[in-house]
Structure 1
Amino acid sequence: MNLISTAARRVFARRRRSVLLIAALVPGLAQADAVIDWNTTAWQAATAAGGPPIQTRINTITHLAIHDALNSIELRYEPYAGTHPAARGASPDAAIATAAYMTLSITVPSQAAALETTYDTYLAGLTCPAAFPGCVSDGIAVGAAAAEAILALRANDGAATPHAPYSAPLLPGVYQPTAPNFAAPQFGNWGRVKPFALNRVSQFAAGPSPLMNLRSGTYRRDYQEVMAVGSAAVRGAPENVDSYESRAARYWAGGGANANAIAQRVVAGRGLDRWQHARLFALMNMAQADASFGLFYGKYQYAFWRPITAIHASGNTQWMSYLVSPPYPDYASGLSGLTASAMEVMRRLLGTDALPYTYTAAGIERHFDTLSQAENEAAMSRVYAGIHFRSACTDGLKQGTKVGNYVVRHYLRPRRR
């Protein structure tokens, strides 16, 4: 069944008439690029829905709807769910706002009231040229059609039940809930969600890795490293709390991996238009979503233990990681894979790795000269945090890069003229 019910359509139709009246009465407001505006609204709203895996799906649905709405008005790139009838002169900004508003209202219902206020205010700032007096209404229509299409495609994709009961034998190498909270494992079903672009979730899955052989040199090296550099006693010591390693751990865990905010800074001043922005954000979020499905498929396929469990099993029960381990298995690293998938999309679309940006997270400002520098630090930050073995991070980077590359090569390609 379509997620937009008949009753909801009627409500939307009534709201559309009232919004158009407001738009006719309120002077136009100064606005930036509508795609950037609604990208910010989307990722901020998505945080209310759950953890990063859930956010990637919401952001993808939103930005695919935006992309398809724009390309229904002017077909420049392949659509994802199809194009929709658009009247001549339809407002691209109204289409963008409506596509975003409708998808977000459905996927993040707790934010519906705030989104409605943002949407009404945004439409009130739009004006139409004399030649196309109904441009806002026409833009709303195409944005609504794009939103309905992508919501219908994802209605039964498996995301409604992201978690699953977990139990495993108490054996060396096998994941168990981790100290200090021993939280129930999460996202056990996330590897079953239907991908947006990949043929199957396991298409680029990492592993198996030599890390999983507890007698291998790889495991011994990774174990000794994370025990030494990821200890709370070491990283939190007064002489180390402001060290590069400690700051990197806090930075990436505290919001430094926000790919949408990073992408906004990367594209700023590059002269991209709304269609190009919409394509970039749609591809980037699609890559992150599919990377998340594949990463959680691997996490629960291998169910490899976290460093803190391994170290405690050796008898060193006083050791604590600098940051608390997320409640799911180690291999491969989610933050590493998601970051790499986003960086690869930006590299492919913008044609270079030399895309400097500055971003502040967890009260820490960081500047990166290249995307590779950023993604490699993101991966190592999880070792510094004491929550991942190095191999889980490097293999996560490789997996994410492959996903990003595939998505760009196969989806939303420029139309041949």
Structure 2
Amino acid sequence: MNALTQFKKVPILPLLIAPALVALASPPIACADAVTDWNLIASTAIVTTAGQPPPVSALSFAMVQGAVYDAVNAIDRGHQPYLVQPPSNPTDSKEAATATAAFRVLVGFDDLPGLFPVQQPTLQPQYDTYIAGLPDNPPGSRAAGVTIGEATARAMLTARLNDGRFGPSPTPYPQAPGIWRPTPPNFLNDPAPWVGNVRPFLVPSAEMLRTDGPNALTSAAYTEDFNEVKELGSLYSTTRTADQTDAAIFWQDHAHALFNRIFRTLATSQGLDIVNSARLFAMENLAAADAAIGCWNDKYYWQFWRPITAIREADTDGNPDTQADPTWLPLFDPATPVCNPLFPLFTPPFPDHPSGHACATGAFVNTLQNFFGTDKISFSAFSNKSCTTRSFERFSDALKEVIDARVWAGIHFRTADTQGAVLGKKVAQYLKKNYFRPARCFLEGPLRRVSFHRARGRCPPAQVQFRGNHRG
């Protein structure tokens, strides 16, 4: 019996997820509205200052942007709330509500801790200056916005108490061919394997996102994946192009910081107002959080080995068509030049399957398509890892490139990427069907909300009108 057949039978293990530890600088604040302003402030707090790795940061971004959405939506009342809908007047300040919701989730309250209480000395002056600069027209509207933002932040922080963050680590499987183990050169362990046991933000359970799993070690599909990454992902590959190398390094930037930069760009280029910006950022980051949770849960269910281990130990896999190379190195090796030498490249310290970046990008891209109602919007993005800018004609082009890039990097088998993208899409589709419905699609009762969509199957998902670089 081959190893892969064996781990398809092991009991489900709870927990998982944590990509590479990179905290890179963010550009100066110069954004379109309060939502994008405070998304940038939050990104700096989460990624640059706290140094949270991608799967952990996904949870933090979701908490901030979910509370911001509820605060803005409480005043606009155009869509179904995520958690709560505090009382409001139409003239209450959406900007004050936005800033307060984000600030309070980040630093918390005297009786309810936020994500980063230690950052209050830095964030408090930013918040105070921001609020003081907002108009108070009509009088009292600014204070009312603050009250609303505090209410939605408190609701979010309360809802996420005891949600499994920073919990115990999963149990590693006994070593065998196909089973993950720490990889060269540093042989690090996952800094946040508990992510897969966190209570999801949207879906009922992480297990409902279970992938089909890695290919059996003796299968033709595994052989194909093996030989592809061995050739294209090698540090010394003669077939990988310079552009493919750039793409691989580009996408090793912190995924959630990078995509939130993309969302800020899109919010501006597509002319989104504060209401639609709040909804976009909430949808994207809540979907990405559940993709991270599901992805890390799946990683530790399968615990599949990385290409560097598989290639060096191929003489143990029972497959005559995979040839071992004990000295093989991936492109992602400290020997590969990067624009910031403080953050060298290496194989991420957690199991291969599914790809964390593909899970996140699958959620991000499919949610963008659902939000805008089209795939045909072009955009460009800058990576702090490669210090290059790449441009895309469609949202889906970015997802396709991420799937390829992880193979070109030598850190994933293609199956891990394609199945990760499917996992992310599942989250995006669940969100589309069950959350952020137009206000006419749900009723509020004293104890619970009743969705017309669930009851009658009506009310299509809301989309926005956009402008600018739409390509027909």
TM-score, normalised by the number of residues in structure 1: 0.87
Are residue 137 (structure 1) and residue 161 (structure 2) matched?
no
Deviates more, 1:168-177 or 1:286-295: 168-177
Instruction: Provide the C-alpha distance between the structure 1 equivalents of 2:31 and 2:347, rounded to a whole number of angstroms.
Output: 41
Are residue 67 (structure 1) and residue 73 (structure 2) matched?
no
Match of 1:321 among 317, 330, 338: 330
Correspondence for 2:183: 178
Are residue 216 (structure 1) and residue 222 (structure 2) matched?
no
Instruction: Provide the C-alpha distance between the structure 2 equivalents of 1:255 and 1:360, rounded to a whole number of angstroms.
Output: 12
Correspondence for 1:13: none
Distance 1:284 1:122, change over 3 A: same
Correspondence for 1:58: 60
Report if the CA contact (8 A) 1:336-1:393 is conserved. yes
Instruction: Provide the C-alpha distance between the structure 2 equivalents of 1:245 and 1:207, rounded to a whole number of angstroms.
Output: 28
Deviates more, 1:252-261 or 1:371-380: 252-261
**1:254 aligns to what SS in structure 2?**
coil
Query: What is the Cα deviation at residue 313 of structure 1?
Result: 0.8
Instruction: Provide the C-alpha distance between the structure 1 equivalents of 2:391 and 2:329, rounded to a whole number of angstroms.
Output: 30
Query: What is the Cα deviation at residue 46 of structure 1?
Result: 1.2
CA-atom RMSD in angstroms: 2.0
Distance 1:88 1:295, change over 3 A: closer
**2:207 aligns to what SS in structure 1?**
coil
Instruction: Provide the C-alpha distance between the structure 2 equivalents of 1:125 and 1:413, rounded to a whole number of angstroms.
Output: 33
Deviates more, 1:250-259 or 1:65-74: 250-259
Instruction: Provide the C-alpha distance between the structure 1 equivalents of 2:255 and 2:306, rounded to a whole number of angstroms.
Output: 22
Correspondence for 1:364: 388
Instruction: Provide the C-alpha distance between the structure 2 equivalents of 1:251 and 1:75, rounded to a whole number of angstroms.
Output: 39
Matches for 1:27-176 after TM superposition, within 5 Å: 32-47=32-47, 48-87=50-89, 89-105=91-107, 106-129=114-137, 132-161=138-167, 164=169, 166-176=171-181
Query: What is the Cα deviation at residue 55 of structure 1?
Result: 0.7
Query: What is the Cα deviation at residue 87 of structure 1?
Result: 4.8
Tell me the alpha carbon deviations over residues 364-417 of structure 1, each in whole angstroms, 9 at most, x when there is no partner.
Answer: 110000011111101111101100000100111111111112112211111118
Are residue 375 (structure 1) and residue 399 (structure 2) matched?
yes
Are residue 391 (structure 1) and residue 394 (structure 2) matched?
no
Structure 2: stretches of 5+ with no match in the other structure: 1-29, 108-113, 315-323, 333-345, 442-472
Match of 1:232 among 232, 235, 258: 235
Report if the CA contact (8 A) 2:93-2:144 is conserved. yes
Structure with a larger share of its residues in helix: 1
Query: What is the Cα deviation at residue 233 of structure 1?
Result: 2.2
Distance 1:165 1:347, change over 3 A: closer
Are residue 347 (structure 1) and residue 369 (structure 2) matched?
yes
Are residue 410 (structure 1) and residue 434 (structure 2) matched?
yes
Query: What is the Cα deviation at residue 202 of structure 1?
Result: 1.7
Deviates more, 1:348-357 or 1:104-113: 104-113
Tell me the alpha carbon deviations over residues 111-148 of structure 1, each in whole angstroms, 9 at most, x when there is no partner.
Answer: 3222212211211211212xx21221111111001100
Q: What code does the residue aligned with 2:155 have?
A: A
Instruction: Provide the C-alpha distance between the structure 1 equivalents of 2:391 and 2:32, rounded to a whole number of angstroms.
Output: 24
Query: What is the Cα deviation at residue 255 of structure 1?
Result: 4.2
Query: What is the Cα deviation at residue 265 of structure 1?
Result: 2.0
Instruction: Provide the C-alpha distance between the structure 1 equivalents of 2:175 and 2:181, rounded to a whole number of angstroms.
Output: 8
Instruction: Provide the C-alpha distance between the structure 1 equivalents of 2:65 and 2:106, rounded to a whole number of angstroms.
Output: 10
Deviates more, 1:304-313 or 1:107-116: 107-116
**1:403 aligns to what SS in structure 2?**
helix
Q: What is the count of residue pairs matched by the alignment?
A: 380
Q: What code does the residue aligned with 1:404 have?
A: A
Instruction: Provide the C-alpha distance between the structure 1 equivalents of 2:170 and 2:294, rounded to a whole number of angstroms.
Output: 19
Instruction: Provide the C-alpha distance between the structure 2 equivalents of 1:77 and 1:271, rounded to a whole number of angstroms.
Output: 19
Are residue 293 (structure 1) and residue 293 (structure 2) matched?
yes
Instruction: Provide the C-alpha distance between the structure 1 equivalents of 2:419 and 2:302, rounded to a whole number of angstroms.
Output: 14
Tell me the alpha carbon deviations over residues 246-286 of structure 1, each in whole angstroms, 9 at most, x when there is no partner.
Answer: 10110000246622111222232323211111111111101
Structure 1: stretches of 5+ with no match in the other structure: 1-29
Correspondence for 2:465: none
Q: What code does the residue aligned with 2:204 have?
A: N
Tell me the alpha carbon deviations over residues 340-360 of structure 1, each in whole angstroms, 9 at most, x when there is no partner.
Answer: 101111100101001110111
Distance 1:49 1:79, change over 3 A: farther
Report if the CA contact (8 A) 1:49-1:108 is conserved. no
